[in-house]
A and B are shown apart, each in its own frame.
Chain A
């Protein structure tokens, strides 16, 4: 039986991701992990791509994972887990394994949108029974905030710095959630730790669907976003309410917006508290700022249409 998604009930469960990990104070990624594991009412095996989460959660003899966990390299969390899942199926078929086990891969945006994209695409196409969860903090944080294809338009990173000639990242984000939907896998969703219940529901639902599932979760990083240590939830909520990060799911091809902001806020509300967008507020970058807003509006309209026609 799936745990009822109330905090009271969830709090009675044992921590499968423990304290003592070494993510920065106020990091969004551990919140993503803890919610995902809380919503998992099965034995679960985790695969983790190299990145902040991985290097900070398992160091020497200290592991924050109280479930079987494997990290092999940066670009292959999906491929590695596809091996674990295949062995599980093989052993099950041979009668050497009887329990029902679930599989989750965690990768950062670099390890998912960029270098791990092929491995992810391959594993999804092959149909392995797993959920791939991307914790998207919009840059290669572990190596010091370099740009990835998930870095938002206009952001200042260490490899696309806002200079006197070039105002940060000139390209828009890759829409990975839609790309994963184009794999025609049974379940794709976008979630946010601020909306813990919506996220937990999506994880619970995904576990009940056989085959490959993908959930993209925004995971604020106060170091890379140059924001405060206390605003991971505030910012992820603003990401939802500005429609920068819409919460939706695509189940067997049907798009559904799961949380519609009561009032769609201007994107500046999301950008303002973040140092990585500071330069966008100087007069010469007004055009870029408009471009950012236009793009969000356009994407949101598109999503609304998709959700309606479905």
Chain B
């Protein structure tokens, strides 16, 4: 895309589209990748509430997979995940391995 010239800019630098940051994918920041193990998941949604990047998909109150377009791989979800019977439902793996 051609970079904007001064005549193309909104007056006063106001950003006109709310939530437009969603167009900026931060998944490439990730050094570690969380993997969801459905079988150990108790659907507590802690991973969802604690994720700083809104990268855990939840639909109709049910946890879905990670949104790797945005997940920065911090590992908070994995640390906070209670899992089932001592088995975490999230494990962190090194990206590209």
- Given known pairs A58-B15, A229-B75, the reply for A7 and B48 (CB within 8 Å) is yes
Segment 8-48 of B: residues with Cβ below 8 Å from A: 15-26, 29-30, 44-46, 48
Residues in A whose Cβ lies below 8 Å from that of B58: 11
Tell me if A253 is interfacial: C-beta within 8 Å of chain B: no
> Known contacts being A7-B49, A21-B53, is A233 close to B80, with CB within 8 Å?
yes
The digit string for B45-65, where 1 denotes a CB below 8 A from any CB of A, is 110111111110010110000
In the assembled complex, A26 has its CB within 8 A of some CB on chain B: yes
8 tightest Cβ-Cβ pairs between the two chains A and B:
A26-B74, A230-B75, A20-B21, A66-B19, A25-B72, A19-B70, A7-B45, A64-B21
Alpha-carbon distance A63/B48, docked complex (angstroms): 21
A30 touches B18 (CB 8 A): no
A29 surroundings in chain B (CB, below 8 A): 52
Taken together as a complex, chains A and B put the C-alpha atoms of A152 and B19 apart, in Å, by 35
| B residues contacting the other copy or chain, number (CB 8 A) | 40
Q: B82 — which chain A residues lie within 8 A by C-beta?
A: none
Q: For residue A67, which residue of chain B has the nearest CB?
A: B18
Q: A8-B45, A65-B19 are in contact. Are A19 and B76 (CB under 8 A)?
A: no
**Docked CA distance A233–B46 (Å):** 11
Q: Decide if A193 is an interface residue (CB 8 Å cutoff).
A: yes
A22 to chain B: closest residue by CB:
B26
> How near does chain B come to A97, taking the closest CB pair, in angstroms?
19
Tell me if B21 and A21 are in contact (CB < 8 A). yes
Given known contacts A7-B45, A233-B80, is B15 in contact with A26 (CB within 8 Å)?
Answer: no
B53 CB to closest chain A CB (Å) equals 5
CB A83 to nearest CB in B, in angstroms, measures: 16
* B26/A26 in contact, CB under 8 A: no
Q: Is A31 an interface residue (CB 8 A)?
A: yes
- Is residue A228 contacting chain B, with contact meaning CB distance below 8 A? yes
With A11-B48, A35-B49: A18-B54 Cβ-Cβ less than 8 Å:
yes
Contact indicator per residue, chain A 1-28, by CB within 8 Å of chain B (1) or not (0): 0000001111110010111111111111
Sample of 14 further A-B pairs with CB below 8 A, known A20-B21, A62-B24? A8-B45, A9-B61, A11-B48, A15-B54, A18-B54, A19-B70, A20-B24, A21-B26, A26-B75, A29-B52, A30-B52, A63-B17, A68-B18, A233-B50
